[in-house]
Chains A and B, each alone.
Chain A
Amino acid sequence: MNLLETRNITKRFANHVALNGVSISVPEQSIFGLLGPNGAGKTTLIRIINMITGPDEGEVFLKGEKLEKNHIVNIGYLPEERGLYKKMKVGEQAIYLAQLRGLTYGDAIRKLKYWFEKFELMGWWNRKVEELSKGMQQKIQFIVTVLHEPKLLIFDEPFSGFDPINAGLIKDEIIRLRDNGATIIFSTHNMASVEELCDDIALINKSNKILEGKVREIKNSYKSNSYQIEIAGYNKLLKDTLNHDFEVVDESHDDDILKAKVKLLNNKTTNEMIAVLMKYGNVHSIQEIIPTMNDIFISKVNSDTIHYNSASGLTE
């Protein structure tokens, strides 16, 4: 069951098309990464899901229902460009933002106390926001985003401005929120955190969605059937000795150890490769080379850009 679906969302601004028929499906209780280079249209898509702007064409569905203004209480949104009233006291401000998200005064206080204690912010309750460090302000923004326990949470670059310790803290909270039933859309440039957190992703480039699916499946589909191998006791090069079933991409000697990247061709299996390699020397290790999201991102965006340019501005 998909918690959120967008169907053929198109948004045009005066001079350019920000989104061109973008459809994404976000499964319930998952962490969904919305990826793409700067200016691809991610923020516009997020703003449309939040009903901050409307699409020119296309529709958004939340739990199968067409998105309407009263759905907004089910969404928590942490924008990329975020801030707080600098002159206002921390506690007052948190209550205000909580009330705008539909909580009563009493509920707001109770829930804020829980989160403030969890994040060790209680001592700052009566201080002005301008006295807080950027990291602390980010924590408060995170708290007011999740406070009303929405079904759908949207985080735009949630880790910017955090030190590694606090980034870890937020990461754990995001995973806990998912485990407790929330669905999370998460936009970032940080590919390491995508691998760590995301169940599914969509990649947007130049207003078009160019890739979508489960992270595991995408990575598998981008596997080139290549292996990193290490053999001891062989002082020639594999390139010259292996037959056409194997393609050696890159190899080098490190003292007695030969390190090589080998690609299997003609449906050869790992076992067959080991059998061949055993003849040459002592096999120390074999490890499948799985592409990182970073590699996939870069290769996909680059090839898309080339395609886009060669199509002289026409979209697929």
Chain B
Amino acid sequence: MNKIFIIIKREYLVRVKKKSFIVMTILGPLLMAAMMIVPYYITKLDKEQKIIDVLDETGIYNKLGSNETIKFNYIYTDLETAIANFDENKTSALLYIPKPDIIEPTNAVIYYSDKQPGNTVTSYIEDKMKYVYENRKLMELYGIDKKQIDEAKVRITIKSENIKTGETNLPLATTLLGIFAGFLIYFAIFMYGNQVMRGVIEEKTSRIVEIIVSSVKPFQLLLGKIVGIALVGLTQFLLWIVLTLSIVAVFQLTVGSKELVKAPQTEMIQQSNVLVPQNSDAGSVQDSDNEMIHSLVKSIGNYNFTLILASFFFFFLFGYLLYAALFAAIGSAVDNEADTQQFMLPITIPLILAFVLAQPIIENPQGPIAFWFSIIPLTSPIVMMIRIPFGVPVFELILSMGLLVLGFLACTWLAAKIYRTGILMYGKKISYRELWKWLKY
């Protein structure tokens, strides 16, 4: 027993003292903090107003409302002079609306600029123009004022509420939380599993393994390595969380702004608009965004974070343990890293499959796909983490955890058999058939 601790200690210290570990541990939080801080500056920078010249030959778009980022400046010349004077005017762009030959001005409008316009700018202009044109058309054809239609419009948002606890959740926040947790586990399994594999290959190619297994059992060496690297992983995650939070905290203290916390959330919501389709009109986009941020912030408090965190650590640990044993078996069967390719497929397929299935699982978190893949040990660490924020029956959670532990024991048992033979086998190209034989020794 004591010897396993000596092995764990070496495996842990060697990796924690590595330059790459220290660099990753510092860079990670810097990146994370940057992701939270930079959007704050970007939103600040965007506050600068863009002035756009409008050359309107139709004469109907004379009231395209400006906002804090875009200001319309109407000019009345012909196109050639406007283009010629463009540089002198020091405006960002020239919007040319030609007199329509056909009734609908679908493709005729041109945005002249020396830089590519951002998506927000063009869609803003399009929305505004659409509003004016639709308004005019409604008036001309049906005699209806668009304002009347707007007034008649209602917006309905469905709020989901847990029937037992009464917590309200927003599907979007739940989705993000689940995907994020699932991705972290996927990433951790690959990263630390690979470290186990490389460690085994290093011991095998440097031929130290025979010296070691003459004093400890191969299984002790295997276990010591896996546990040592698990501790490295936990250390890294913990440091990432602590460092990220402290960088953000320090930044908040020095800049002294409460907006900072909001900024990344706004950013997140805006990006996620792509994920969740919504039909909103130009005028109401901003409002609904604010409303969503509000409910998102509110709903964060509604999750059972103890359960989510506890499950995260459980599935991280056992998911890693299960795969680490398999990674070690692969490492023991080959002579160098290039040869690992042929054996990696059985490991990568379930991991990638779990991630590919995220979409159908989110759409139906209690459906058969979600159920089965969160029960099967090879995919359960990722799929279950995606499901948990949506709420999973306790029975299913316990079943999944129990099977994962059993899966871990079975995988380690099988992997140890391959490992035991593989580490002492040099200079032989190993096939799947050969591995099968080793299992039966």
A contacts, CB < 8 Å to B? 14, 47, 50, 52-53, 69, 72, 75, 77-79, 81-88, 96-97, 99-102, 141, 144
Query: Is there an interface contact between A82 and B211, defined as CB atoms closer than 8 Å?
Result: yes
Tell yes or no: B214 within 8 A of A by CB. yes
Contact of A81 among B216, B426, B437 (CB under 8 A): B426
CA gap between A101 and B3 in the complex, in Å: 9
| Interface contact A52-B207, CB-CB below 8 Å | no
Q: Are A97 and B214 in contact (CB under 8 A)?
A: no
Is A88 a contact of B14 with CB atoms below 8 Å? yes
Q: Which residues of chain A have C-beta atoms less than 8 A from B218's C-beta?
A: 52
Find out whether the CB atom of B213 lies under 8 angstroms from the CB atom of A101.
Answer: no
A79 touches B212 (CB 8 A): no
Q: How far is the CB of B313 from chain A (nearest CB, A)?
A: 30
Report yes or no: B212 in contact with A100, Cβ–Cβ below 8 A.
Answer: yes
How far apart sit A141 and B212, CA to CA, in the bound complex (Å)?
Answer: 11
Contact of A72 among B205, B210, B211, B214 (CB under 8 A): B214
Are the C-beta atoms of A83 and B207 separated by less than 8 Å? Answer: yes
Question: Is there a chain A Cβ closer than 8 Å to B99's Cβ?
Answer: no
B215 touches A82 (CB 8 A): no
Report the Cα distance A47→B423, complex, angstroms.
13
Q: Which of B3, B213, B437 contacts A52 (CB 8 A)?
A: B213
B208:A100 contact, CB within 8 angstroms: no
CB distance from A43 to the nearest CB of B (A): 9
Cβ B437 vs Cβ A86 within 8 A? no
**Using Cβ atoms and an 8 Å threshold, which residues of chain B touch A77?**
211, 214
* A72, A75, A96: the one within 8 Å of B10 (CB): A96
Hey, what's the 0/1 contact readout for B1-31 against A, CB within 8 Å counting as 1? 0010011001000100000000000000000
CA distance A52 to B216 in the complex (A): 9
Residue of B nearest to A81 (CB): B207
Q: How many residue-residue contacts, CB under 8 A, span A and B?
A: 61
Instruction: Tell me the smallest distance from the CB of A55 to a CB of chain B, in Å.
Output: 13
Cα A14 to Cα B433 in complex, Å, equals: 12
Separation of A99 and B5 alpha carbons in the complex (Å): 11
- Beyond A82-B207, A86-B206, A88-B14, whether A100 also contacts B424 by CB under 8 A is no
Contact: B216 with A84, CB < 8 Å? no
Q: Chain B residues near A82 (CB, 8 Å)?
A: 207-208, 210-211
Q: A14-B437, A85-B202 are in contact. Are A100 and B215 (CB under 8 A)?
A: yes
Question: Contact check: which of B206, B424, B426 meets A84 at CB < 8 Å?
Answer: B206
Can you report 14 residue pairs joining A to B where beta carbons are below 8 Å apart?
A: A52-B213, A52-B424, A77-B214, A79-B210, A79-B211, A79-B214, A82-B207, A82-B208, A84-B208, A87-B14, A97-B215, A100-B6, A100-B7, A141-B211
Taken together as a complex, chains A and B put the C-alpha atoms of A81 and B10 apart, in Å, by 22
B424 touching A101, Cβ below 8 Å: no
Query: What residue of chain B has the Cβ atom nearest to residue A144's Cβ?
Result: B211
Bound: A95/B206 CA distance, A: 18
Do residues B206 and A50 form an inter-chain contact, with CB atoms below 8 A?
no
The residue of chain B having its C-beta at the shortest distance from the C-beta of A79 within the complex is B210
CA distance A47 to B3 in the complex (A): 20
Verify A85–B424 contact, CB threshold 8 A.
Answer: no
Neighbour of B211 across the interface among A14, A87, A97, CB < 8 A: A97
- Which B residues are CB-close (under 8 A) to A81? 207, 210, 426
What 0/1 pattern do residues 188 to 224 of B give for CB contact below 8 A with A? 0000000000000011011110111111111000000
Report chain B residues within 8 Å CB of A101: 215
A290 to chain B, nearest CB (A): 37
15 new A-B contacts at CB < 8 Å, known A14-B437, A85-B203: A72-B214, A72-B215, A75-B214, A77-B211, A78-B211, A79-B207, A79-B210, A81-B207, A83-B205, A84-B206, A85-B14, A85-B206, A100-B7, A100-B212, A100-B216
Instruction: Assess whether B6 is in contact with A96, with CB atoms less than 8 Å apart.
Output: yes
Nearest Cβ on chain B to A68's Cβ, whole angstroms: 13
- In the complex formed, the residue of A with least CB distance to B18 is A87
Given the complex of chains A and B, what is the CA–CA distance between A83 and B205 in angstroms? 8
Cα distance, A100 to B1, chains bound together (Å): 11
Task: State the CA gap A144–B208 with chains docked (Å).
Answer: 12
Q: How far is the CA of A14 from the CA of B428 in the complex (A)?
A: 15
Chain A residues with CB under 8 A of B217: 69
When distances are taken between beta carbons in the complex, the residues of chain B under 8 Å from A78 are 211
Chain B residues with Cβ below 8 Å from A88 are 14
Contacts of B216 in A (CB 8 A): 100
Q: State how many angstroms separate the Cβ of B166 from the closest Cβ of chain A.
A: 57
**How far apart sit A100 and B214, CA to CA, in the bound complex (Å)?**
10
Closest residue of chain A to B214, judged by CB? A77
Q: Please give, as numbers and ranges, the residues of chain B lying within 8 Å of A144 by CB-CB distance.
A: 211
B208 contacts which chain A residues (CB < 8 A)? 82-85
Contact call B3/A100, Cβ cutoff below 8 A: yes
In the bound assembly, the distance between CA atoms of A47 and B210 in angstroms comes to 9
Q: What separation, in Å, do the CA atoms of A77 and B426 have in the docked complex?
A: 19
- Closest A residue to B212 by beta carbon equals A100
A79 to B218, CA, bound (A): 15
Residues of chain A within 8 A (CB-CB) of B215 are 72, 97, 100-102
Q: How far, in angstroms, from A101 to B210 measured CA to CA in the complex?
A: 13
Shortest distance from the beta carbon of B215 to any chain A beta carbon, whole Å? 5
